[in-house]
Amino acid sequence: MRDITQPIFIAGPCVIESQEILEIVAEELVRINKAYQVDIIFKSSFDKANRTSIHSYRGPGMEKGLQMLDDIKRKYDLKILTDIHESNQATPVAEVADILQIPAFLCRQTDLLLAAAHTGKIVNIKKAQFLSGADMRYPYEKSVEAGAKETWLTERGNCMGYNNLVVDFRNIPTMKSIAPRCIMDCTHSVQRPGGNGISTGGDREYVPMMAQAAKAFGANGYFFEVHPRPEEAKSDGPNMLYLEDLEKVIASLL
């Protein structure tokens, strides 16, 4: 297991839109890594299977998306994190990704957790919007007992209805008592699910404060969805951080 006293950073665009955007983000992550010597992981999704509307952009699909992520991995020597939604995706995705992520809505799906863990990769489980931090013991145990290399837990807020999320930061020390690595998803935590009607809204101005509060409660990982032009993003634009602001936020956490 890597040194858990050192924070890790996960960053990238919500969904794969183009190779150009992936490369713009990757180049910035490499620059930040060289400047601060941080453990930074590239994240993007090949498919967003839980979009609000059937007309929303989902991504390029698994085959093309994995090829694009593999190109980023090889060209920029970055570790890759991406999410899976079905058990049969685990094995092919593990051929490219270093970390398999379990989406929050699916974190109790036993077969999905077992398939991810059986690859022997690191598994990052996002806490469901309807669960407490203590409830995450059981998804964690499923992953660990099925053989995951490491299992991380990620806080991303709780749904309170009426298109809003609330973060109970006590979940971070609770989950750290379960898993050595507890990550704060600083951008999804400021979502307003369905807040824009057929899409999700959000309040990106609170992202730096979410990160600082998480640090105060002992988080040892931080997740940021970033984009060079969030207002043009095809998914989660309102809560994504401007790529140009990422360095400042990371520096404030070190």
Token duo for residue 68: 């694009």
Would you state the pLDDT for residue 198?
52
Q: Give residue-wise pLDDT tens across range 189-213.
A: 887 765 454 556 677 889 999 999 9
- Its pTM stands at 0.92
Of 191, 193, 192, 251, nearest to 222 by C-alpha is 251
Would you state the pLDDT for residue 203?
79
| Regions in the chain scoring below 70 on pLDDT | 1-2, 51, 193-201
Residue with the two structure tokens 């994995």 = 66
Rounded to 5 degrees, what angle do the CA atoms 127, 182, 109 make?
30
Would you state the pLDDT for residue 49?
79
The DSSP annotation for 54-108 comes to: TTS---S-HHHHHHHHHHHHHHH--EEEEE--SGGGHHHHHTT-SEEEE-GGGTT
Would you state the pLDDT for residue 200?
63
